[in-house]
Amino acid sequence: MSRPGDRFAAFRRLHHADRPLFLPNAWDYASAAALAGDGYPAVGTTSLGVAAATGKPDAAAATRDETLALARSLSRLPTLLTVDLEAGFSDNPDTVADLVGELAAAGVVGVNLEDGRGDGTLADPDRHAGKIAAVKARVPELFVNARTDTFWLAGDADPAPVDDTIRRAGAYVTAGADGVFVPGVRDATTITALVADIDAPLNVLYLPGRHTIGELAGLGVARVSTGSWLFRVALGAAVRAVDAVRRGEHRDGPTAPSYAEVQRLISADDRD
């Protein structure tokens, strides 16, 4: 993983392998270091986690600086890094491309760009395609994962927006997107239809209890990411543990890394 070009190519190859890329998402340095140390070849970030860790709302274009600072701090980890940029923190394609250029200079090999907007509506697909094109023009080797929030923002009562998803995915791939991410898609039939009709590696969100990685592999999914799930698991586990102590229960401790293990985690992290 020495030359930048090798890292871009390595990340791209993970989307065209026999098994899907299983991509865990980190929210701070420690979580990324733990995942890298645990052998994941690539790690993503989660915009909800980054926003919550820093006390800002998600999907509100509020965390550009925090996202860039985190990406820079993670660049020394021995893993490939892809960064969740929400909608790019700007409506100006050149501004989004500038940010991606900075991220690539910091060693980032991929980004997510979503067409969902903070107000719960979907962006015009041509405008979103314009951002993708601007980013690919600036850093052609970088893997742009175009996220469409057709399912994510649909209500439970709405019909599955398969046709709109395929139309949007087509526009984004034509603009240069290297992969398409459809969070919130749940059933096997729909996933199969999306794999068949989208001409790029399909990324779905891991939904606890819904599918295993093996089942998603069988449906033709190329990438499975965890989104904000690990961040939420972490937060929930901490609150449950402390509440049990407050209630007067005994809690055992062997399931947490030790103080010394965490100190090692944050010091032994050279890329090379």
Residues that bind a copy of itself (CB under 8 A): 22, 24, 28-31, 33-35, 38, 40, 48-49, 51-58, 73-74, 76, 206-209, 212-214, 226, 228-243, 245-246, 248-253, 255-259, 262-263, 265-267, 269
Shorter beta-carbon distance to a copy of itself: residue 126 or 249: 249
Give φ, ψ of 63 to 5 degrees.
-125, 30
126 in Cβ contact with 88 (< 8 Å): no
Return d(Cα 24, Cα 45) in angstroms, integer. 8
Return d(Cα 120, Cα 29) in angstroms, integer. 30
From the CB of 191, what's the least distance to a copy of itself, in Å?
17
From the CB of 261, what's the least distance to a copy of itself, in Å?
8
From the CB of 254, what's the least distance to a copy of itself, in Å?
8
From the CB of 100, what's the least distance to a copy of itself, in Å?
22
CA 146, distance to chain mean position in Å, is 11
Describe the crossing of helices 162-174 and 125-138 by its angle, rounded to 10 degrees.
30
CA 121, distance to chain mean position in Å, is 20
Shorter beta-carbon distance to a copy of itself: residue 8 or 40: 40
Shorter beta-carbon distance to a copy of itself: residue 196 or 268: 268
Query: Residue 123 pairs with which residues in a beta bridge?
Result: none
From the CB of 92, what's the least distance to a copy of itself, in Å?
26
Instruction: State the DSSP string of 82-111.
Output: EEE-TT-SSS-HHHHHHHHHHHHHTT--EE
CB atoms within 10 A of CB 163: 12
Shorter beta-carbon distance to a copy of itself: residue 56 or 167: 56
Shorter beta-carbon distance to a copy of itself: residue 30 or 160: 30
Shorter beta-carbon distance to a copy of itself: residue 54 or 95: 54
Counting runs of H as helices and runs of E as strands, what totals does the chain give? 11, 9
From the CB of 236, what's the least distance to a copy of itself, in Å?
4
